[in-house]
Amino acid sequence: MKCTAIGVLVVSLLAVPTYARDSRNALTAPHCMTLVHVRGAWRMDVVCQQGQGTIVRDDSTSAAFHGQGVFAAWSQDEMRALYESLIPRSETKLDLPQLG
């Protein structure tokens, strides 16, 4: 009986974290497909292995985020973090040729 109880305890300890995991934060290979300015906001279309979605960032001073598709139930902080991590950045330095 003790072995059965210990076995059930071990299985439950292993299974609970697996099922309690928040899958919204587990995006696999997210990519920014487009980033365009629309009336009063920036719209970012994102594609990942879980599907596709859109994050819209208002140009207002509060900078509110609105999610569609995969991001429909995401919080403001989650959308802000993903949005800022996917903004294309130019890492190249501009080298001007020196003439003469």
How far apart CA 60 and CA 58 sit, in angstroms, is 5
- DSSP, res 35: E
How far apart CA 34 and CA 100 sit, in angstroms, is 42
- DSSP, res 11: H
pTM: 0.64
Q: What is the pLDDT along the chain (100 residues), one digit of tens a residue?
A: 666 655 554 555 555 444 444 544 578 889 899 999 999 999 999 999 999 999 999 988 677 999 999 999 999 999 999 999 998 777 766 677 777 6
